[in-house]
Chain A
Amino acid sequence: MTRRHQRMLAVSGILIGIAVAAFFALSAFQKNLLYFYTPSQVAAGEAPKGYPFRVGGLVVPGSVKRDAGSLKVRFEVTDGPASVAVTYSGILPDLFREGQGIISIGQLNQDGVFEATEVLAKHDENYMPPEIADTVKHGADGKPVLDYQAWQPK
C-alpha cells in the first residue's frame, strides 16, 4: 500500500467516523436535551406540556406533604415570584429539605402539576443549583428575591 493510499484511507475513515458519530450525536441530542424552566416561566405557560423538562427552585417551607401509606410526596418549588406544585413517588435525595434548592425532572400534567420522575439535590449544604442561583439573583426588580440564608436549617 502506498503512502497516498494509506493517507486517503485514514482520511476517509476519519470522515466516515465523524459523520456516523455526528449522526448519532445529533439524533441523540434531539431526543435527550432537557431544557430548564423556572417556576415563573411555568406559571406563565412557557413550559411545554406532555414533554419532559427540568424545573428548579427552592422547596417552599411547609409545603411538603407525604402520603400516609405510600411513598408519594407533594411539594412546591419557588423562584420567588411564582411557585409550581410537584408530585413525586419514591425516595427523595439525602439533602432534600424545605428551603433547599432542588431540580426535578418530569412533565407537566393537564392540571398544571409537575409530575417528577427524578428529584436532584446536590450533596453540599451550600450548593444552590446554578440555574436557581441565577434565577434568584436576577429577580424581577433586580434585587435578590429570596433570602436563601434565612431558610438554612438551624
Chain B
Amino acid sequence: MIAELGHLALVMALMMALLQAGFPLAGAAGGVPLWMAVARGAGRAQCFFLLAAFGCLAASFALNDFSVAYVAQHSNSALPLYYRLSAVWGGHEGSMLLWATILGLWTLAVTIFSRSLTEDFVARVLGVMGLVSIGILLFILLTSNPFERLAVPPADGNDLNPLLQDFGMTIHPPMLYMGYVGLSVAFSFAVAALLSGSLDAAWARWSRPWTLVAWTFLTAGITLGSWWAYYELGWGGWWFWDPVENASFMPWLVATALIHSLAVTEKRGAFKAWTVLLAIFAFSLSLLGTFLVRSGVLTSVHAFATDPARGLFILVLLGVVIGGSLMLYGLRAPAVRDNARYELVSRENLLLLNNILLVTAAGSILLGTLYPLVVDALGLGKISVGPPYFDAVFAPVMAPVFLLAGTGLLFPWRSANLTAIAHRTRWLALLSLAAGIVTMAVFWSLRDIKTLATITLAIWLVVTAGYTLWSRIRLREHWLAGLRSQSRGVYGMTLAHAGLAVVLIGIALSGRYTVEKTVRLAPNETVAIGDYVFTFRGTTRVEGPNYTASQGEFAVRSGTREVILKPEKRAYRVQRNTMTEAAIDPGLTRDLYVALGEPMDNSAWSVRLYYKPFIRWIWLGGLCMALGGVLAASDKRYRVAARQKAALSATPSSATA
C-alpha cells in the first residue's frame, strides 16, 4: 500500500512538473501574468509530492517491506535502522529518487527566496527547473521505478553493500546531490536569462548566491567522499581517479570557474556569454556524472545493451538538455553585449585565463573517463586509463591555476601596471619563496623540487590572500574598524583561497613522505616506521549486528606515548562479503594507519601499515573552502538587495489595497 502511494505521489509530482514548466514558460513568452503565477504554486506542490514519494520509499525500508524489489535488493532485517534509511539511496532507483527530491527542495527554495526577482524571470527559472524535473521523473517512472513490487517476495533482503554501511557514506551522496542538483538552479537562471534576453549585472547577482551554495555542497560532498575512501577502502589512498570520483570532480572544476566568472559579470559586466556557457557546461557535466555513476555504463558499456530503454533514455535526455541549451545559446549569445572595457593586463584577463585552464582540466578528465567507453563501444579493444594518465595531465594544467589564483588578486580591475605591481609585491614573492625553502630545508629536504614548488605555491596563495585582506583593512583608521567593514564575500574568498593552500600542502607532503609497509606479522612481532614501533598482539573474534569480525590489536609506541589500534576484517553474513576496517590514529601532522590483510598460518596476518604526514590537511582545506563558500553566499548585499526590492514592490501594492 505504501509503495503504491509512493508511486502515485511520483506521478502527481510529474503532473505538477508539467504544470510548472508549461504555463509559466508560455505565460512569460506571451506576457500572461496569470499563467506565470502558476510557477510558485506548482513548484511547491511538486516538492510536496516528491517528499511524499521519498517518505514512502523510506517507510518501505523502515518497515522491511521486502515485496518491494528495490528494498529486497538493498536492505535486510538485520540491518540497523539508520543504515536501512540510508539504503534508500544505496542503489540506482533510490538515488534517482533522491536526485528528484533534492531538485524539489531546490525548487521550493527558489519559490521562497525569489521575491526580489521580476515575475517573468521567476516564471522562466521555475519553468526551466520544471523541464529538468520532467526529464528526471519520466526517467524514474519509465525505466527505474523504485516502487516496483516482486510477485514472490523473499523472506529477507539482500542487504546493503557493506562498503555503504558507514556514516560517511550515509551523508556523502545527499551532499553531493545537493551540489549536482544545485547547479541546475544556476543552469535555469542562465537559460531563463537567454530566453528573456536580459543578461545584465542583476542577473549575475541573483545567480551568484545559488551557485555559491551549490558549489559549497559539491566541495563538501567531494571532501567527504575522499575522507570516506581513505578510511573505508583500506588502502590509505584519498583519491583514485576512479570514474565515479571524476564524475563529481568535473562539475566542481567548471563550477569553480563559474563562480569566478559570475563575479566578473556582476562587478564588471564582462564575460556574460562565457558565464552562461559555463553554467550550461557545469549542469551538463553533473547530469552526465549522475548517469555515469548510476547507469552501470562504467562497469560495462554492455549495461546499455542489457537495458536498452534506460540507456536510450539517458542519451536522449542528455542530448535534449545539452543540445537544446547550446542551441538556445547559439541563437541568443551573439546578441549579448559586454559593455566593460579592460586592458590586456588586468584582473579580468587573468580570471579568464584561469577559467580556461579550469575548463581545460575538466576536459582532460572527461577525455580520460570517456575514452575507454568509446573505444570499447566501437569494438577497438579494451583499455583502461589509470591514475598515471590523470597525474600526468592534471598537474601541469593545474599548476598555473594555483599560481594565478594568488597572483590575480594583486591585479586591479580594468587595467594594471605590471612594473608597479611587481615593485609593490616583490617582497611578497620573496617572502613566499624564502618561507618555502626554509620550511623544506628544516623539516624535509631541498632536493624534492616538486614538493618545494608546491609548498611555495601554497604559501604564495596564503600570502596573497592575506595581503589583499590587509590592504583592504588598511584603508580604515583602526584595524578593528577595518576588520568589521569587510563584507562576508571578502572573508569567504580569503578563507577559500587559504583552504586551497591547505589542500595543496596536504597533497604535496602526504604524497611525497608517506611510508608504507606491507608485512607479515605473527603475534607479538614488531615492526618500526621511523620512530613508531608497531607491536601486533594478535586477533580476537567480534560479533557485529550483521557481520562477524576478526579484530586485531596493535600497540603503537613512540617515545613514552602508546596508542592501541584495532583494525578489523569483517565478514558480512548476508552478502558474504569481506571488508577491511582500517584503524587510524589521526593527528594534525601525521596519521598512523593499520589495515589487516589476510590470515596466514600460525595466527600470523599480512598487514598494511602507513605513516601519512599531513594527510588530514587535504580534508581540512576542503572544509575551509566549503566554509568560505558559506560565508560568501551569506554576504549581506544579496539579502539587502532582496529586502529593498521586496519593500519597493510591497509599497505600491499595499497602497492600492
The chain A residues found within 8 Å of chain B, CB to CB, are 1-3, 5-6, 9-10, 13-14, 17-18, 20-21, 24-25, 27-29, 31-36, 54, 66, 68-71, 90-92, 94-95, 123-125, 127, 130-131, 133-134, 153
Q: Among the listed stretches B51-59, B572-580, B628-636, B646-654, which one makes contact with chain A, having 4 or more residues with CB under 8 Å of it? A: B572-580
Question: Across the interface, do A21 and B299 meet the contact criterion of CB distance under 8 Å?
Answer: no
Contact B343 A36 (CB under 8 A): no
- Verify if B597 is at the interface (C-beta below 8 Å from A): yes
User: CB of B163 within 8 A of chain A?
Assistant: yes
A1 to B348, CA, bound (A): 11
Nearest Cβ on chain A to B433's Cβ, whole angstroms = 25
Q: Would you call B577 and A94 a contact (CB within 8 A)?
A: yes
Residues of B within 8 A of A133 (CB): 300, 302
Tell me how far the C-beta of A19 lies from the nearest C-beta in chain B, rounded to whole angstroms. 10
Q: Is B392 an interface residue (CB 8 A)?
A: yes
Chain B residue at minimum C-beta to C-beta distance from A96: B598
Is B531 part of the binding interface, using a Cβ–Cβ cutoff of 8 Å? Answer: no
- Contact present for A125 and B576 (CB under 8 Å): yes
B349–A95 touching, CB < 8 Å = no
Contacts of B357 in A (CB 8 A): 17
Interface string of B316-350 (1 = CB under 8 A from A): 00000000000000000000001001111000010
Docked-complex contact A31 and B392, CB < 8 angstroms? yes
Point out the residue from B302, B367, B393 that lies within 8 Å of A134, measured CB to CB.
Answer: B302
Set of chain A residues within 8 Å of B533, measured between Cβ atoms: none
Instruction: Verify A70–B397 contact, CB threshold 8 A.
Output: no
Please state if B161 and A35 are interface contacts (CB–CB under 8 Å).
Answer: no
CA of A90 to CA of B593, assembled, Å = 17
Are A130 and B302 neighbours in the complex by a CB distance under 8 Å?
yes
Nearest chain B CB to A84 CB, angstrom units: 17
Nearest B residue to A133 by beta-carbon distance? B300
Question: B383 in the interface, Cβ–Cβ < 8 Å?
Answer: yes
A1 touches B385 (CB 8 A): no
> Chain A residues near B520 (CB, 8 Å)?
69-71
Instruction: Contact check, B600 vs A54: say whether CB atoms are below 8 A apart.
Output: no
A24-B393, A35-B383, A54-B384 are known contacts. Are A10 and B352 too (CB-CB below 8 A)? yes
Q: Give 20 A-B pairs besides A1-B343, A28-B388, A28-B393 with Cβ atoms closer than 8 angstroms.
A: A13-B356, A17-B357, A17-B360, A21-B364, A24-B392, A25-B367, A29-B385, A34-B385, A35-B382, A36-B382, A90-B606, A91-B518, A91-B606, A91-B608, A95-B577, A123-B577, A123-B579, A125-B576, A130-B300, A131-B382
Task: A69 to B520: give the CA distance in the assembly, Å.
Answer: 8
B116 to chain A, nearest CB (A): 31
Q: How near does chain B come to A2, taking the closest CB pair, in angstroms?
A: 8
A115 CA / B638 CA spacing, docked (Å): 61
Is the Cβ of A125 less than 8 Å from the Cβ of B397?
no
Q: Which residues of B contact A (CB under 8 A)?
A: 161-163, 234, 274, 299-302, 338, 341-344, 349, 352-353, 356-357, 359-361, 363-364, 367-368, 371, 381-386, 388-389, 392-393, 396-397, 518-520, 575-580, 597-598, 600-601, 606, 608
For the complex, what is the distance from the CA of A92 to the CA of B595, rounded to whole Å?
A: 12
Residue from the list B162, B299, B383 in contact with A33, Cβ < 8 A: B383
Q: Which residue of B lies closest to A134 (CB)?
A: B302
Determine the chain B residues whose CB is within 8 A of the CB of A33 once the complex forms.
383-385, 389
Determine whether the beta carbon of A31 is less than 8 Å from that of B598. no
On whether A17 and B356 interact (CB within 8 A), knowing A130-B300, A134-B302, the answer reads: yes
Cross-interface CB contact of A91 among B299, B384, B598, cutoff 8 Å? B598
User: Which of A10, A13, A123 makes the CB contact (< 8 A) with B163?
Assistant: A123
Please give the distance in Å from A92's CB to the nearest CB on chain B. 6
- A94 and B580 in contact, given A14-B356, A125-B575 (Cβ under 8 angstroms): yes
The residue that B397 contacts in the complex, of A13, A21, A29, with Cβ under 8 A, is A21
Known: A17-B356, A153-B576. A3 touches B388 (CB 8 A): no
Report the Cα distance A66→B360, complex, angstroms. Answer: 47
A55 to B163, CA, bound (A): 26
Q: List 27 A-B contacts (CB under 8 A).
A: A9-B352, A10-B356, A13-B352, A17-B359, A17-B360, A18-B360, A21-B360, A21-B364, A25-B368, A28-B392, A33-B383, A36-B384, A68-B601, A69-B520, A91-B608, A94-B234, A94-B579, A94-B580, A95-B578, A123-B162, A123-B163, A124-B577, A125-B575, A125-B577, A130-B300, A130-B301, A153-B576
